[in-house]
């Protein structure tokens, strides 16, 4: 990961989360809409049990619209509230506000019965590195970023952002690790750029991507690069892309690495199209 996780880090992050979670009513969990399962933390359901839950399918501008709908349904069936999001924009913020209130309806009702009115819902944002947590907090909090400071009964040092009269957000997001135990999860995380590229074999990665794209998004590569997808091996497609994009080194040799990096970059920035790398119904 950009963030290198070690057992010590993980224990500390988990302990912090356990502490913070006691203070809140709602967990706002960001996942990457291109890999909604692979970008989840393996322990979050256990950590967040007994809390209201909202999933934000973030970077949904980069993922397949049809797949976004499938994932929304899938999470909703599991009891989560879900909003598809591009965290850089503010256009879904009303929808998120409504989802928060809906997700916390029971708590609000309980408060009301006890005669407590207007106690804001408290929420925290969690997710793996780079999923868009800070971007979301900035967009959602906007100018309302006034910190409410320490409150009696709250662990010293905790800062709350008062979003409006009904919601307060813990200002530091919970950073959690993704799964490490499964190679295909690692591959998907690498493809979306969650891992440090220095540690990756980008040539291999690009071939995996080409294989996936020709199988699940036929036509995407031929449209982007004017290449034929009708080859036996993905390396032949990479070679054609290299020629088209002039990835040639001294001696007129194909520069595979340059072409590999180009394809990966263009995938990550959405230039090959809106693509989702896993669908509901696969192995969980």
Residues of this chain that interact with ligand G4P (CB under 6 A) are 58-59, 61-62, 85-88, 127, 129-135
CB 237, min distance to ligand G4P, A: 26
Q: For ligand G4P, give the closer residue by CB, 237 or 275.
A: 275
CB 58, min distance to ligand G4P, A: 5
CB 197, min distance to ligand G4P, A: 11
Contact in structure between 108 and 118 (CB atoms under 8 Å) = no
CB 107, min distance to ligand G4P, A: 26
Q: For ligand G4P, give the closer residue by CB, 66 or 134.
A: 134
CB 245, min distance to ligand G4P, A: 21
223-230, Cβ contacts within 8 angstroms, sequence gap of 24 or more: 223/273, 224/266, 224/271, 224/272, 224/273
**DSSP per-residue letters across the chain:** --SPP-HHHHHHHHHHHHHHHTT-SEEEEEEETTSTTTTS-TTHHHHTTTSEEEEEEETTTTS-HHHHHHHHHHHHHTT-EEEE--TT-STTHHHHHHHHHHHTHHHHHHHHHTT--SPPEEEEEEESTTSSHHHHHHHHHGGG--B----TTS-TT--EEEEETTEEEESSPEE-----S-HHHHHHHHHHT-S-GGGS-HHHHHHHHHHHHHHHSTTHHHHHH------SSHHHHHHHHHHHTT-EEGGGEE-HHHHHHHHHHHHHTTTT----S--TTS--
CB 193, min distance to ligand G4P, A: 6
Q: For ligand G4P, give the closer residue by CB, 173 or 234.
A: 173
Task: Report the alpha-carbon distance of residue 253 to residue 246 in Å, rounded.
Answer: 11
CB 274, min distance to ligand G4P, A: 11
Q: For ligand G4P, give the closer residue by CB, 186 or 193.
A: 193
Question: Which residue number places its CB atom closest to ligand G4P?
Answer: 132
Q: For ligand G4P, give the closer residue by CB, 130 or 214.
A: 130
Q: For ligand G4P, give the closer residue by CB, 42 or 270.
A: 270
Q: For ligand G4P, give the closer residue by CB, 128 or 207.
A: 128
């Amino acid at each position: 990961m950009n963030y290198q996780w070690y057992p010590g880090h993980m224990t500390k992050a988990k302990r912090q989360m356990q502490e913070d979670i006691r203070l809140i009513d709602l967990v706002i969990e960001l996942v990457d809409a291109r890999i909604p399962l692979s970008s989840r933390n393996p322990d979050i359901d256990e950590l967040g049990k007994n809390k209201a839950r909202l999933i934000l399918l973030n970077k949904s501008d980069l993922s397949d619209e049809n797949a976004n709908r499938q994932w929304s349904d899938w999470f909703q069936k599991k009891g989560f509230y879900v909003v598809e999001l591009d965290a850089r924009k503010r256009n879904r913020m009303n929808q998120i506000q409504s989802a928060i209130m809906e997700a916390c309806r029971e708590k609000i009702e309980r408060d009301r019965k006890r005669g407590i009115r207007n106690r804001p819902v408290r929420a925290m944002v969690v997710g793996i590195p780079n999923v868009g947590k800070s971007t979301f907090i900035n967009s959602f909090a906007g100018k309302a970023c006034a910190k409410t400071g320490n409150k009696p009964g709250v662990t010293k040092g905790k800062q709350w952002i008062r979003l409006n009269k009904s919601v307060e957000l813990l200002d530091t997001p919970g950073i959690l690790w993704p799964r490490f135990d499964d190679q295909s999860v690692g591959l998907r995380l690498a493809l979306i750029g969650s891992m440090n590229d220095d540690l990756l074999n980008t040539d291999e990665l690009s071939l995996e991507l080409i294989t996936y794209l020709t199988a699940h998004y036929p036509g995407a590569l031929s449209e982007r690069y004017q290449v034929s997808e009708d080859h036996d091996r993905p390396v032949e497609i990479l070679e054609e892309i290299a020629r088209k994009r002039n990835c040639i080194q001294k001696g007129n040799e194909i520069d595979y690495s340059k072409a590999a990096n180009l394809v990966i970059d263009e995938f990550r920035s959405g230039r090959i199209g809106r693509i989702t790398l896993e669908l509901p119904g696969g192995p969980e």
